[in-house]
Amino acid sequence: MDQQQKTVRRIVTGHNADGKAIIVSDASPGQTYMIGGPNGARFHEVWNTRQSPALIDPVSGELEETSLVLGPPKNGTRIRVIDFPPEGEEIRNLTKEEAGTHFKAMGGEAASKAGQDAPHPLMHRTATIDYGIVLEGEITLIVDQGEVTIKAGDIIVQRGTNHAWANRSGKPCRMAFILIDGEFTNELL
């Protein structure tokens, strides 16, 4: 996968004035963000919904956001594609403060769980259910007590657990994530 040449394509459908299905747009997502500098991850923000059930109207425009937001809207969903470059020493050696700065750039500073006992400096936890699908490459999912390497075609159901992603493969990895707003039960607070 060449991150400079391969683009994410988003096709959005809707309805015309007669209620017939139409293609509203066929282009790259309007919002793409780099986190962690030129060697960091590239976030392609595909779409989000603001409530559940989601309103289906004739022709929704893209919901406006002025910056990258880690989680989905309250009671909503978010789909994004992330290009993870191979992990280098600059990631493995992040301090707790530097990791917090990365999450702050996504509006998710409170999600950061970096610390001395963390198995990876980018450990984080959100009150969401995340469906992660490896599209290309491979990546390692790290949790508090264990890890698993996943490859193209594999699917992760991440249920509000403390976790991090480490691309140890030496090649880029592309994943699609569908994030669903959730709520922790009292025993997990």
Whole-model pTM: value is 0.92
Residues 166-187: tens digit of each pLDDT: 999 999 999 999 999 999 999 9
pLDDT in tens, 51-106: 999 888 887 766 678 889 999 999 999 999 999 999 999 898 999 999 999 999 89
Distance CA 189, CA 176 (A): 27
